[in-house]
Structure 1
Amino acid sequence: MDEITRLKEILSTSRRAVFFGGAGMSTESGIPDFRSAGGIYSETLHREFTPEQMASHSFLMAHPAEFFDFYRRRFVYLSAAPNEGHRALAELERRGILAAVATQNIDGLHQAAGSKTVYELHGSIRRAYCMDCGARYALSYIMEHTPIPRCSCGGIVRPDVVLYEESLDTATIEGAAAAIRAADTLIIGGTSLIVYPAAGLIDAFRGAHLILINKTETHADARAELIIRTPIGAALHAALP
């Protein structure tokens, strides 16, 4: 029996499956893996920075204009659309097989595909808020108000994403952990499982079937019942029961 057939079998008997995904889920929609980027030279600051430095809270506070220029160019891909993996997960949820998606991605493509229960561990580019008064804004506000988007109160309107040096949202983490703890099947896809604390969530899994869909090895391989090295979208689509 091949891996896809086995995955289809497992899904056909699952009623509380959870998908835990990372950047590999979005690269199939044309969004580059942020962590694969090299140094970035800032023309205005005349220095080279790593992507992690430019996507940090301290960089936002010290160099807001440069932060937003970087953010608009490297985080926002308005032309990206859900791929067949996103659509397959939404269909699994619709059929009562998948209970939730926990994602490290910030692109909102799971919701765009139709998924309802999505734990966005690192936030979403689709939302923004004022750092002073808390007023809520859509992505379009950041894209249209350059160089630094400001609220009517004068505060900076920042993206609702978790930057480096910031903590993950407690309620989101707890919700994802509870879903994984209650899952009968956990599918891990497109993640190296090296970004913590999000990657540590899989330790909550106590269900019957742990499945990995990833191009490279992870520290969870030894625990997995099934390892699939083909692209996530094609694998999930082919495994629909």
Structure 2
Amino acid sequence: MDQLQTLASWIKDSGNIVFFGGAGTSTESGIPDFRSAAGLYQSQHNSPYPPEVMLSRSFFMSSPDIFFDFYRSKMIHPQAQPNGAHKLLAELEGQGRLKAVITQNIDGLHQLAGSRVVLELHGSIHRNHCMGCSRFYSLEQVVNSAERVPLCPECGGIIKPDVVLYEEELDHDVLIGAVAALAAADLLIIGGTSLTVQPAASLVTYFKGRRTVLLNGDPTPYDHRADLIITERIGEVMGRVQELL
């Protein structure tokens, strides 16, 4: 049986699907993966800082001006639209088949496609809070801020995006929700992730269900545990699977 037909039949046969995704889920929406974005920034700005440094908590505190230059120019893509992967997942949730999307992405495209149960391991660009008074600010307010480093007009504190930086811990409640969803699932679809970023990647080991599908262009450390591996572009694959359902 064709790989896509196999995936479609497994989806039809499942009543508790969980999707675990990374940057590759959004590349077809025009959002470069983290390292590509950092590479573009470094080539344009002659930046001597590696990506892990620029997106670390200590760098944010010591050089917020450089952080926000990189963040605004390469990490935010407000015009991006959901692709076939986001749309199929939202449809499957609407049918009651898919119970949760667990994502390492911060772009909010799953919610834009209509998904409601989205566990964002690394936070979201759409939530921002003042480090001084905790006042909430939208993405638009951060993007359109006149200051190079967005400051709270109420107390003067720096407005920090609610994204998990290097040296910061993942949200405990999000982790608990992800573990519970994975433990209860009977079909796990992993897409667009190399499964190398920890501790997020280790979460998939909590899945004890029947079948694991891996949609990724490159090999991962989890390949040997997958029941089906598809290396074509995930947006195209999911779009075609949607037609088969």
What's the TM-score, normalizing by structure 1?
0.95
Please give the secondary structure, in 1, of the residue aligned with 2:67. helix
- CA apart distance, 1:237: 2.1
The residue number in structure 1 matching 2:13 is 13
**CA shift for structure 1 position 96:** 1.1
Distance 2:31 2:12 in 1: 31
Percent of matched pairs sharing the same residue: 52
Could you tell me which residue of structure 1 aligns to residue 193 of structure 2?
191
Question: 1:79 maps to what in 2?
Answer: 79
The residue identity in structure 2 corresponding to 1:77 is H
Whole-Å separation in 2 of the counterparts to 1:102 and 1:58 = 27
Alpha-carbon distance, 1:35 to partner: 2.0
Higher mean C-alpha deviation, range 51-60 or range 14-23: 51-60
1:161-176 alignment, distance < 5 Å: 161-176=163-178
| CA distance 1:180–1:132, change in 2 (3 Å) | same
> What is the CA-CA distance between 1:42 and the residue it aligns to?
9.0
CA offsets 1:26-70 (integer angstroms, 9 cap, x no match): 101011111234372796xx8611122111111111111111111
Q: Please tell me the residue identity of whatever aligns with 2:49.
A: F
Q: 2:151 is matched with which residue? A: 150
Q: Name the CA distance, whole Å, in 1 between partners of 2:142 and 2:194.
A: 30
Structure 1 equivalent of residue 182 of structure 2: 180
* Structure 1 runs of 4+ with >6 Å offset: none
Question: Aligned letter for 1:111?
Answer: Q
- Which residue of the partner structure matches residue 105 of structure 1? 105
Indicate the residue corresponding to 1:96 in structure 2: 96
The answer (yes or no) to whether the contact 1:41–1:48 under 8 Å persists in 2 is: no
- For structure 2, the 5+ residue unaligned runs are none
The RMSD of aligned alpha carbons is 1.5
State the Cα distance separating 1:230 from its structure 2 match. Answer: 1.2
- Partner of residue 116, structure 2: 116
The aligned counterpart of 1:141 is: 141
Q: What amino acid is the match of 2:151?
A: R
Looking at structure 1, the residues matched to 179 and 235 of structure 2 have their Cα atoms a distance apart, in angstroms, of 24
**SS of equivalent to 2:133:** coil
1:42 touches 1:48 (CA, 8 Å); kept in 2? no
- Aligned partner letter, 2:139: L
Counterpart of 1:224 (choices 208, 226, 234) is 226
Q: How does 1:200-211 map to 2 (within 5 A)?
A: 200-211=202-213
Count of paired positions: 239
1:238 corresponds to: 240
Judged with a 3 Å threshold, the aligned counterparts in structure 2 of structure 1 residues 47 and 20 are, in CA distance, closer, same or farther, namely closer
**Structure (1 or 2) with the greater helix fraction:** 2
Give, as a single letter, the amino acid of the residue that structure 1 aligns with 2:133. C
